Amino acid sequence: MGKMPKPNEALKDFFKDNDIYADVFNAAFFDGKQYFKGDDLSEGDTTFENSIEVGRQVIKIKRIRDIVRISKTGICFVILCLEEQDKINYTQPLREMIYDSLGYLEQVKSAVVSEDKTKWTADEYLSKIPKEYRLMPIISLVLYTGEEPWDGPKCLHDMLNIDEYLKKIVPDYSMFLIDLGHDTRYNFKNRKLRELSEILSSLYLGTDSNKEVGMDMLSMAGILTNDLKLYNAANEGADKGRREKMCRILDERDRKNEEKGIAIGEAKGIAMMLIRRLNKVGEVDATLQEKIMGVSDTEVLIKWFDDVDKYTSIQDFVQDMENA
């Protein structure tokens, strides 16, 4: 088996397909309606840098975006920026605000170079931009693929110690984010995006699925979840366009994980496998999942794991768990 790619490398390669890139923005902002089209996208510069004067000091700021595309929509050009996150970052709105600000400043800097300044007024020279000049809008989207549901801020106000009166006068800055493995409300038209979201949801929530999916997206899910066994199980057929029932591939992977997890007594691994088995008895809600994941006694977890078949309802298991 080959070496498993890093998540950011795999996603950058994944989004080289402009149809997929357009679809993630259409799902985020237009409920899947085809506002942005793959044929209208071209590659954009990912490096943004500028200098800011603070007193007598000049501070240089440089940021590199993950992926940038420029869309020609009608008579308008729009800069579409995608940021990939597999960990929760509690300063993400600030990061997006800086990225966007640098992107707009970069456009202003370009205007100084490209525009004929011979007829500029004094105010235009001071502003470094002609009065009628208009910037291209920047739309930034964070694609979060982590295991835990996003519980970080989604706007600047979420980060501030602020009351309702001040909220009216302190400008906010919203951040747009898709939690790919937990939020199922997005209407992805692209087959690969839709299946990747479904697979991640199944893995993170411990639910079984008889749905047939592409091995290519199972392989991608293995990369994003750092699951080498899933990656290897799916990767053989990924390039051949094979499709399999998700539950079959996951069961194949889990059989190997069960042997390893129980052998080395990893509490978290056993708890995750227990949740998957319990989902065949009934729905394991988020509260129960949290309780199971919080158990650190591997002997107790192994006993529950071995006894799953005796339960006819989740309530029976909960009763045993409370009595343990």
pLDDT, one tens digit per residue, over 109-153 is 887 777 778 788 899 888 888 888 889 999 999 999 999 999 999
Q: Are residues 76 and 124 in the same domain?
A: yes
pLDDT for 255 beyond 70? no
Q: Provide the domain count of the chain.
A: 2
β-pair type (243-245, 76-85): unpaired
Q: How far is CA 17 from CA 29, 49, 67, 187, in A?
A: 19, 27, 12, 18
Rounded Cα distance, 65 and 104, in Å: 14
Domain range enclosing 264: 194-323
pLDDT for 287 beyond 80? yes
> How does pLDDT run across 42-88, given as a tens digit for each residue?
998 888 777 776 667 777 877 888 999 999 876 689 999 999 999 99
**DSSP SS3 for 158:** helix
pLDDT for 190 beyond 70? yes
pLDDT at 264: 46
β-pair type (76-85, 138-144): parallel
| Structural domain contains residue 94 | yes
For CA atoms 192, 196, 197, 202, the dihedral sign is: positive
| Structural domain contains residue 239 | yes
In sequence order, what are the residues at sequence separation of 6 or more whose Cβ sits closer than 8 angstroms to the Cβ of residue 216?
192, 234, 238, 239, 241
| Structural domain contains residue 2 | no
What tokens appear for 110 in the block? 């370009």
For CA atoms 29, 34, 40, 42, the dihedral sign is: positive
Residue indicated by tokens 């591939």: 249
Q: CA geometry: angle at 50 spanning 115 and 12, to 5°?
A: 100
Q: Are residues 28 and 139 in the same domain?
A: yes
Domain boundary residue, one of 153, 171, 189: 189
> How does pLDDT run across 274-284, given as a tens digit for each residue?
888 888 888 88
Q: Are residues 159 and 25 in the same domain?
A: yes
What average pLDDT is seen over the chain? Answer: 85
In the chain, where does DSSP find H-type helix?
A: 7-14, 18-30, 92-114, 122-127, 164-167, 191-205, 215-224, 228-238, 246-264, 267-278, 286-293, 298-306, 314-323
Rounded Cα distance, 25 and 32, in Å: 8
Q: Are residues 124 and 145 in the same domain?
A: yes
